[in-house]
């Protein structure tokens, strides 16, 4: 059952659009699915890649103080002892003595089973890490865990990165990849999954400078969502209360989004102090300190950790961009996705299937697809094809008509206000490039002219 906030896009509509248009499918659906696991379809995988690309560009590519990493999912089991996950990464669970259903103790209100009102057992701690075995023998010595967060892969590589890159503090390491948690409370589509992706940063700083860097990252991460089109009124910061903070954390903010299920965490930014590096130094016996050339001191850096979920970001981008407009043809469904995130950047649409239009249309398609993911569509009326592209968030359609054969000009139609400009084919690629980077539609290239829809805007 999916909960729903009144006035927000209906979660069922999103789920249905995602399935119908090939964004997201339930995992192994032909066998009835697997709880809280989902597959990204042809458009979904493009959207996901674009979200990750946008994050990597902002936090690694455009910064001098950041480097990337791709650590393995399976790690030495001591990692999870040192990090505290073996001991403490657990939810309290209760079982109903009558119907045998299992619940998270903190989600049960009056001490009775929410399904049948039956009596509940005492809470027992349930570790959320998935276990498996390395090698052929399934005994205690060969147990390994599927990582429940990507962060520890960064901490255990701190010295490797430091020595190989000769980075000086402050600097950070970014990593994105799969994480696994045997979640108990599921059921809100891709909000909480058992297999999901994270985008995490561990930013190492000199103790004493941590508060300033913490503020920097809270602001930077909040702005990232806004820059990619999320409406400010649907985002807020929530500082953790003292009794909510992990024992090692100095401060923590959640960036919350108003999901269809209500305000919930999209990303957490924590000041983790020197806890993690100290723990790994203790359990591994290795020196994980930093030597400051200027002050000639050895110390363990403090860490600021902005930790985001790829899938949760995708849900926020989809929910925020979903829109409907009534018009004379019925309902126009639009995903007003930022061009950087849109799975298809441009659709090439010959006005009809008339053979005369084919060579020029295919030429244009073949030249544009070298730059972006472009879709060619000549099935059904031009109006329906525009609608199909609006629904998957394609920012621009290029239409080739009979006049194009005479004057070598084509029409660019934008998604949000359906305005059109007419441009010479030789400047088409550059014009699209500029528009995809945010240039307003009414800025015209040489030989271009305003076409349809400008009067109304
Ligand atoms: N290293 C810190 C850490 O993992 P977290 O708050 O447990 O912190 C960070 O997770 C982010 O990962 C969350 O804000 C959320 O976006 C995402 N996330 C966590 N559990 C998730 C799940 N079961 N399904 C989808 N995303 C999840």
pLDDT tens for 298-345 read: 999 999 999 999 999 999 999 999 999 998 888 999 999 999 999 999
Q: Quote the crossing angle between the two packed helices 428-436 and 358-368, to the nearest 10°.
A: 50
Q: Is 85 in the pocket of ligand 1 (CB under 6 A)?
A: no
pLDDT (0 to 100) of residue 184: 87
Q: Is 197 in the pocket of ligand 1 (CB under 6 A)?
A: no
State how beta strands 420-424 and 409-414 pair: antiparallel
Q: Tell whether the model's pLDDT for residue 3 goes beyond 70.
A: no
Q: Tell whether the model's pLDDT for residue 457 goes beyond 90.
A: no
Ligand 1 atom with the smallest distance to the CA of 268 is 14
How far apart are the CA of 6 and the centre of ligand 1, in A? 25
Q: Is 385 in the pocket of ligand 1 (CB under 6 A)?
A: no
Q: Tell whether the model's pLDDT for residue 106 goes beyond 90.
A: no
CA 350 to CA 352: how far, in whole Å? 5
Q: Encode burial over 231-253: b for 16+ CB neighbours within 10 A, e otherwise.
A: eeebbeeeeeeeeeeeebbbbbb
Residue from 85, 148, 307 whose mutation best tests the ligand 1 pocket (most atoms within 8 A of CB): 307
Region 260-274: mean pLDDT is 97
For the chain, give the percent of residues with pLDDT over 70. 99
Ligand 1 atom with the smallest distance to the CA of 183 is 23
Q: Is 269 helix (H, G, I), strand (E, B) or coil?
A: strand
Residue from 149, 248, 271 whose mutation best tests the ligand 1 pocket (most atoms within 8 A of CB): 149
Largest CA distance in the chain: 80
Region 351-369: mean pLDDT is 97
Q: Tell whether the model's pLDDT for residue 1 goes beyond 70.
A: no
State how beta strands 171-180 and 302-309 pair: unpaired
Q: pLDDT tens for residues 137-191?
A: 999 999 999 999 999 999 999 999 999 999 999 999 999 999 999 998 788 999 9
Q: Tell whether the model's pLDDT for residue 4 goes beyond 80.
A: no
pLDDT (0 to 100) of residue 379: 95
Looking at every residue in the chain, the average pLDDT score rounds to 96
CA 441 from centre of chain: 28
The reported pTM is: 0.95
Q: Is 181 in the pocket of ligand 1 (CB under 6 A)?
A: yes
Ligand 1 atom with the smallest distance to the CA of 149 is 4
Contacts by 103-111, CB closer than 8 A, 24 or more apart: 103/184, 104/184, 104/185, 107/185
């Amino acid at each position: 059952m999916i909960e729903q906030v009144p006035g927000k896009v209906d979660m069922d509509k999103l789920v249905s659009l995602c399935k119908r248009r090939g964004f997201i499918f339930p995992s192994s659906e032909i066998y009835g699915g697997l709880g809280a696991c989902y597959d990204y379809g042809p458009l979904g995988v493009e959207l996901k890649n674009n979200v990750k690309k946008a994050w990597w560009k902002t936090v690694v590519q455009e910064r001098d103080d950041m480097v990337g990493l791709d650590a393995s999912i399976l790690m030495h089991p001591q990692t999870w002892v040192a990090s505290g996950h073996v001991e403490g990464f657990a939810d309290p669970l209760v079982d109903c003595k009558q119907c045998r259903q299992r619940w998270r103790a903190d989600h049960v209100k009056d001490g009775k089973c929410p399904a049948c009102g039956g009596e509940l057992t005492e809470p027992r701690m349930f570790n959320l890490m998935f276990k498996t075995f390395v090698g052929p023998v399934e005994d205690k010595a060969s147990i390994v865990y599927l990582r429940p967060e990507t962060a520890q892969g960064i901490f255990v590589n701190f010295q490797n990165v430091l020595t190989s890159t000769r980075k000086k503090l402050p600097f950070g390491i970014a990593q994105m990849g799969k994480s696994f948690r045997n979640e108990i409370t599921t059921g809100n589509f891709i909000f909480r999954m058992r297999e999901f992706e994270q985008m995490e940063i561990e930013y190492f700083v000199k103790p004493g400078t941590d508060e300033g860097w913490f503020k920097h990252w809270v602001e930077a991460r909040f702005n990232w969502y806004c820059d990619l089109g999320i409406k400010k009124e649907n985002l807020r910061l929530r500082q953790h209360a003292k009794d909510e903070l992990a024992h090692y954390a100095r401060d923590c903010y959640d960036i919350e989004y108003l999901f269809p299920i209500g305000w919930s965490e999209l990303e957490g930014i924590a000041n983790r102090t020197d806890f993690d590096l100290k723990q790994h130094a203790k359990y591994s016996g290795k020196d994980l300190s930093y030597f400051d050339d200027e002050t000639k001191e050895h110390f363990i850096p403090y860490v600021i950790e902005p930790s985001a979920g790829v899938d949760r970001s995708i849900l926020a981008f989809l929910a925020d961009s979903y829109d409907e407009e009534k018009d004379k043809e019925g309902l126009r469904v639009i995903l007003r996705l930022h061009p950087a995130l849109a799975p298809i950047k441009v659709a090439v649409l010959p006005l009809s299937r008339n053979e005369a239009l084919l060579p020029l249309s295919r030429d244009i398609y073949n030249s544009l697809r070298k730059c972006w993911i472009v879709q060619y569509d000549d099935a059904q009326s031009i109006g329906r094809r525009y609608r199909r592209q609006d629904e998957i968030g394609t920012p621009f359609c290029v239409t080739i008509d009979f006049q194009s054969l005479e004057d070598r000009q084509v029409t660019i139609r934008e998604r949000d206000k359906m305005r059109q400009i007419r441009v010479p084919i030789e400047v088409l690629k550059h014009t699209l490039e500029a528009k995809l980077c945010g240039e307003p539609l009414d800025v015209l290239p040489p030989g271009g002219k305003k076409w349809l829809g400008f009067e109304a805007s």
